[in-house]
């Protein structure tokens, strides 16, 4: 590494309000009800966070049959299908829903328009838990498209009442391209009143668009399973900047930084700041000499906790 190497931090980066809320729900449930607390799917897509909560007493499961009767169960930030909600109620669990409120907003919109006779085209990634949760709000009439080619193949039963929704963690540019193809094929399609892609995803991508052209290499802190982290890497690469995603400082390779004088650093919405700090320490060990933050949007969004886990209930429990 050149001796003058500088690290430039993207702003904003890291945890969003939905992730903060989801982790706090699990931690408060552990405090109030004791271990173990069962969580359906990874609470957020980050290895460090999941391992930290496991150490505190959280047990992550995919099948509700793995949860004992009467146990406390938390739904992950990605949301779940109606079938999962119904099964959990039938099994009598003590349930706390950590679904991000911005995902819940999409679920509510789907349910409302379905009652009005709408079918849906959903823009998203097949197999992602958020997509499965949103599509699982209905038993029919919702069609997934992953790319422009899918739009040409999709065949709703009717087009008079057709609406489009999107996964909240997509690339803004990708979603816009696919939405344009949907509108070309179905000119009367109903769009969301507000874009479904969440504020945090948008802000982090916008920050990378500003930062990437001004650095020699970009590092994105995030797990491979994290959709929004993957999109940050792709945004930088599209701008012609070498970009790598790391789950921990151990993933950094010295050759990525050979001859590079400026390193951009960001983190996905599910990646904790402690990992960013550890990556900075590793980059310093590799030769970086200074760190500065770029100017960026200040995020002040805060989502309330579910009933039964708020401050008053915790004081009462204590």
The C-alpha atoms of residue 265 and residue 271 are separated, in whole angstroms, by 12
The C-alpha atoms of residue 175 and residue 159 are separated, in whole angstroms, by 21
Q: What angle do CA 101, 106, 108 make, to 5 degrees?
A: 90
Residues 146 and 170 sit within 8 Å (Cβ to Cβ): no
Look at residues 13, 4, 36 and name the one whose alpha carbon lies nearest to residue 222: 13
DSSP code for 251: G
Look at residues 169, 171, 99 and name the one whose alpha carbon lies nearest to residue 136: 99
- Residue recorded with tokens 């097949």: 126
Catalytic residue among 42, 130, 132, 234: 130
Residues 210 and 197 sit within 8 Å (Cβ to Cβ): no
Within 8 A by CB and 6+ apart from 194, the residues are: none
Rg (alpha carbons) of the chain, rounded to whole number: 21
The C-alpha atoms of residue 276 and residue 279 are separated, in whole angstroms, by 5
DSSP code for 77: T
Clarify whether 177 is annotated catalytic: no
Q: Alpha-carbon torsion 226, 77, 165, 135, what sign? A: positive
Catalytic residue numbers? Answer: 130
């Amino acid at each position: 590494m050149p001796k003058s190497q500088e690290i430039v931090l993207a702003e904003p980066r890291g945890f969003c309000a939905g992730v903060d809320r989801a982790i706090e729900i699990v931690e408060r449930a552990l405090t109030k009800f004791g271990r173990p607390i069962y969580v359906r799917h990874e609470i957020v897509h980050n290895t460090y966070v999941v391992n930290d909560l496991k150490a505190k007493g959280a047990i992550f499961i995919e099948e509700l049959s793995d949860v004992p009767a009467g146990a406390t169960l938390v739904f992950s930030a990605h949301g779940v299908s109606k079938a999962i909600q119904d099964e959990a109620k039938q099994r009598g669990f003590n349930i706390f829903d950590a679904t991000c409120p911005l995902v819940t907003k999409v679920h509510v919109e789907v349910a409302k328009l379905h009652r009005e006779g709408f079918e849906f085209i959903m823009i998203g990634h097949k197999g992602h838990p958020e997509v499965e949760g949103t599509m699982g709000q209905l038993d029919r009439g919702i069609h997934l498209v992953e790319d422009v080619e899918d739009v040409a193949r999709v065949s709703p039963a009717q087009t008079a009442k057709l609406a489009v929704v999107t996964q909240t963690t997509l690339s803004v540019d990708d979603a816009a391209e696919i939405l344009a193809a949907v509108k070309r094929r179905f000119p009367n399609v109903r769009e969301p009143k507000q874009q479904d892609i969440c504020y945090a995803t948008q802000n982090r991508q916008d920050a990378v668009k500003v930062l990437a052209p001004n650095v020699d290499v970009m590092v994105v802190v995030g797990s491979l399973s994290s959709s929004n982290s993957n999109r940050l890497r792709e945004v930088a690469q599209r701008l012609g900047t070498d970009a790598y995603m790391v789950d921990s400082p151990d993933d950094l390779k010295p050759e990525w930084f050979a001859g590079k004088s400026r390193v951009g650093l960001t983190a996905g919405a599910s990646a904790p700041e402690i990992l960013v700090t550890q990556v900075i320490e590793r980059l310093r060990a590799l030769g970086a000499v200074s760190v500065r933050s770029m100017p960026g949007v200040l995020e002040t969004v805060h989502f309330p906790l579910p009933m039964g886990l708020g401050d008053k209930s915790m004081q009462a429990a204590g």
